[in-house]
Structure 1
Amino acid sequence: MKIYEITDPEFAAYGRILGGVDLTGMVEALKKTPCPEDGTIYVPGDPELEKLPEAAEIQSKLYGELPVQIGYCNGHNHKLNALEYHRSSELNLGADEFYLILGKQTDITPDGTFDTSTCKVFRAPAGVPVEVYATTLHYAPCNKKKEGFRVLVVLPKGTNTELSGTHSGGEDGHLTAVNKWLLGHPEGGLPEGSPMGLVGENLTVE
């Protein structure tokens, strides 16, 4: 697959590079978070990250004072496996370079399927904060270097936490966590019963 840079014009449909805040301290703290040698780990909110001075700045300047959670997704990954979306933008910031396989929510068909051939792959350099728009389909970051990745994940507070009710049918059937709608790939290795929806190749970043 062709790999674009987040500085390329093609990225404008999916997100933007954020400025106006110095997140150097956040990156240094992120480097100390655990990175598994195989697979990935996702922590919605990390107390050590959330108590940093930059956390208040993120909430104030980047989320308009909306309460946020600051966590991370770390590890090793090369496959698409699934796509998800939220009703809100997501902030990503890498302690290492990482790759995002992205799609557009508007390309989900009326029957709830999405063709993975419409995805694009973008490289994000370490230390550059990226906003992924609410209408952008995304999932776990990918890595090409053997060291893996450590990526900050900022979302409105409560996102990706356990649901309080049951959901079924249509888009509601794809709600797998608070503020998280998921379309899985049959070859994605997701838990049994996960909602599917991706058709085409389970894309790989190598």
Structure 2
Amino acid sequence: MRNGTIQHLETLNPELTIISVEDKRFKGYGRVIVHPYMDRLLERAAPLIPSELPENKYIASVPELEALPGKELYNLVFGDTDIQVGYVAGPNMTLNGLEYHKSPEVIIALTDQMLLLGKWEDIDDNWHYDANRVLGLYVKAGECIELYPRVLHFSPCRLSDQGFKTLIVLPRGTNTPLSEETLAKRISGTESQCLFMKNKWLLAHPERLPLIQKGAYPGIRGKNILVQYK
């Protein structure tokens, strides 16, 4: 039997294919991880993250979140390398862009949310990606997933009026500013033009002017997908 929430979301978003984390199609993008301390995370992490924000907020590293249990799990995912635990939260409902890292990423949903995913292999030779290829992933509160390296993703989309809250685990330093030397070496027409932050390559939607004004490469073609939930 199909998930009733997914059926509802598909009715509201008929142009978007939506799956759950249990769907076999997700295996091409990532995997489900059983977090041994999920109940404790839901109880202790959510109060550390602001609620009902007027716009998205991303903090790459939060010491209080890094002190919560789970390090042994993250060590297995990231091969015992130094990691950071932060959060993203807010009212987002649109695609706006797609980023990728050359490392795994662990995503822990503290609220129900939708991730918009794509495959790096579908970026064309001109470094453009067609938004029609995007897949919607419904992630329930309390679910923990690993996204594989180079999987295209960006901010979660909310599925309630209260917005979304998500923990993000990445190698330390990811999503922090590039050096001026590295910025100067980016070359148009190559992957380097997409390098936006450390370990973060970004294709922005041309309609997302705040990203374009910050130097993001406008690589998304097609509709800036809007996720409806009611």
Q: Which TM-score bucket, shorter chain as reference?
A: over 0.9
RMSD over equivalenced CA pairs, Å: 1.4
Q: What TM-score do you get using the length of structure 2 for normalisation?
A: 0.85
Asked if 1:153 corresponds to 2:173, the answer is no
* Stretches of structure 1 lacking an aligned partner (at least 5 in a row): none
| Aligned equivalents of 1:134, 1:53: Cα separation in 2 | 24
| Aligned equivalents of 1:75, 1:59: Cα separation in 2 | 25
Q: Is the contact between residue 176 and residue 182 of structure 1 (CA under 8 Å) also seen in structure 2?
A: yes
CA-CA distance at 1:36 after TM superposition: 4.3
CA-CA distance at 1:8 after TM superposition: 1.1
CA-CA distance at 1:154 after TM superposition: 0.3
Secondary structure in 1 matching 2:165 = strand
| Aligned equivalents of 1:78, 1:179: Cα separation in 2 | 25
Secondary structure in 2 matching 1:136 = coil
Q: What TM-score do you get using the length of structure 1 for normalisation?
A: 0.94
| Aligned equivalents of 1:13, 1:143: Cα separation in 2 | 23
1:39-50 alignment, distance < 5 Å: 39-50=55-66
Secondary structure in 1 matching 2:157 = coil
What residue in structure 2 maps to residue 175 of structure 1? 195
Between the aligned residues of both structures, percent identity stands at 35
CA-CA distance at 1:64 after TM superposition: 2.2
Work out which of the residue numbers 172, 189, 193 in structure 1 matches 2:209: 189
Work out which of the residue numbers 121, 125, 128 in structure 2 matches 1:106: 121
CA-CA distance at 1:142 after TM superposition: 0.3
CA-CA distance at 1:60 after TM superposition: 2.4
Q: In the comparison of the two structures, how many residue pairs are matched?
A: 205
Single out whichever of 181-190 and 102-111 deviates more from structure 2: 181-190
CA-CA distance at 1:175 after TM superposition: 0.6
* Stretches of structure 2 lacking an aligned partner (at least 5 in a row): 1-15
Work out which of the residue numbers 105, 111, 115 in structure 2 matches 1:96: 111
Work out which of the residue numbers 140, 153, 178 in structure 2 matches 1:163: 178
| Aligned equivalents of 2:128, 2:155: Cα separation in 1 | 19
CA-CA distance at 1:6 after TM superposition: 1.2
CA-CA distance at 1:20 after TM superposition: 5.8
Single out whichever of 106-115 and 29-38 deviates more from structure 2: 29-38
- From the two aligned structures, give the one with the greater helix fraction: 2
Q: Is the contact between residue 142 and residue 149 of structure 1 (CA under 8 Å) also seen in structure 2?
A: yes
CA-CA distance at 1:10 after TM superposition: 1.4
